Chain A
Amino acid sequence: MINKVIPSLEEAVADVHDGATVMIGGFGNAGMPSALIDALIAQGARDLTIVNNNAGNGETGLAALLKAKRVRKIICSFPRQADSHVFDALYRAGEIELELTPQGNLAERIRAAGAGIGGFFTPTGYGTLLAEGKETRLINGRHYVLESPIHADFALIKALRGDRWGNLVYRKTARNFGPIMAMAAKCAIAQVSEVVELGELDPEAIVTPGIFVKRIVKQEAA
């Protein structure tokens, strides 16, 4: 019997290795898998490359992972916020590398990795600092920039409900990067509010089919 439900948060992240690339879902705090991040902090993996839209808010979640000095590099679109002081201090001290990417490129680079695309041309960023040094092409009279996919070893995401085959549904705008990060990582781990029986999720409404998900864990699991 296939059962992707892992009994504890600790076991769910046990094999995240030093130097891993880890995608973390969420847009600000909406959709941030805080229980999995806390488990990752306790697990101790370091030298991580993190992919997230932001670079942490306040002192919890992703900001706490940064504060614990576990992150070597972050790939994101919008690091600087009113409450991004943990990232700001690390960045100014030269203790974290930043790869800034426009938000649509970030999403499409993640999606491309998940869909087996080797790269894509996009008009976003053409002629700006963020396209410097990148290959460009004129297609039907419009200028495009070549962008590459972002693959990851792990994705930590948050969903509302999941079943033992790994099917997921999300809640409101907490969906954001979850579905595409699940596709782009070798091992996607979802923390869910509720584990349901097979068949309880409406197949017409499943957002992430289980093929993209390796592990499910209840967010209040030990």
Chain B
Amino acid sequence: MKRMTRDQMAARVARDIPEGAYVNLGIGLPTMVANHLPRDREIFLHSENGLLGMGPAPAPGEEDEDLINAGKQPVTLLKGGAYFHHADSFAMMRGGHLDICVLGAFQVSAAGDLANWHTGAPDAIPAVGGAMDLALGAKQVYVMMEHLTKSGESKVVAQCSYPLTAIGCVSRIYTDLAVLDVTPNGLAVREILSDLSFEELQKLTGVPLSRAA
């Protein structure tokens, strides 16, 4: 079975981000999308710690401890970019002003429920950050994750077993095997990114799939 690499997944997501979109890329796998955004499109990257128009990582030696992203890594600001305080920054999300948010996930349900903040393990120290705001704060919420866990179980599930981040918030799922749209009638396969047939993909996936119209 062919699977997309993490870079290929990031490139696939990047292809779907249009000119002029206001976008927040979550920590981890989604951050890699920034490296693949088409250079001929102007896309506004938002980081919840208070910047819009985020640029790439600075050259070595050019880092500024006062200019970081939500993952606390040094970044740069593009010409035209802006700084603002935390309540304004979250108003951009919570007020529905962002077009697209790309998030990682442990599990997504067929109804678009998202679990990405807590494994629920009894000894885990819980930390939520902006996950619950991001999940609700964009017109489109895209999830990027491997299709299967390391032990081969589907991360696309009928019901999330991990604690929820938000209910019914996900619009599209990009895995290393397929692109799935969350629709009122369940999950529709938009594209298969592997050498699998629809039937083979269905067999690996925890919930019924339909073919995209």
Name A's B-contacting residues (CB within 8 A). 27-31, 53, 77-81, 88, 91-92, 98, 100-108, 110-111, 122-130, 143, 170-180, 207
Contacts and interface: CB of A to CB of B under 8 A. Distances in A.
A155 B90 CA distance: 20
B170 interface: no
B175 interface: no
A100 B86 CA distance: 17
Contacts of B86: 27, 53, 103, 106-107, 110, 176-177, 180
A98 B136 CA distance: 24
B55 interface: no
A173 B128 CA distance: 20
A100 B85 contact: no
Interface residues of B, number: 39
A35 to B, nearest CB: 15
A207 B85 contact: yes
With a 10 A CB-CB cut-off, give which of B72, B89, B167 has the most chain A CB atoms: B72
Interface of B: 47-51, 64-68, 72, 77, 83-87, 89-90, 93-94, 118, 123, 125-133, 136-137, 163-167
Given A102-B131, A103-B48, A130-B128, 12 more contacts: A29-B72, A77-B127, A78-B127, A91-B125, A103-B128, A104-B90, A104-B93, A105-B132, A129-B126, A173-B83, A175-B84, A178-B85
B127 A79 contact: yes
A179 B89 CA distance: 12
B66 A172 contact: yes
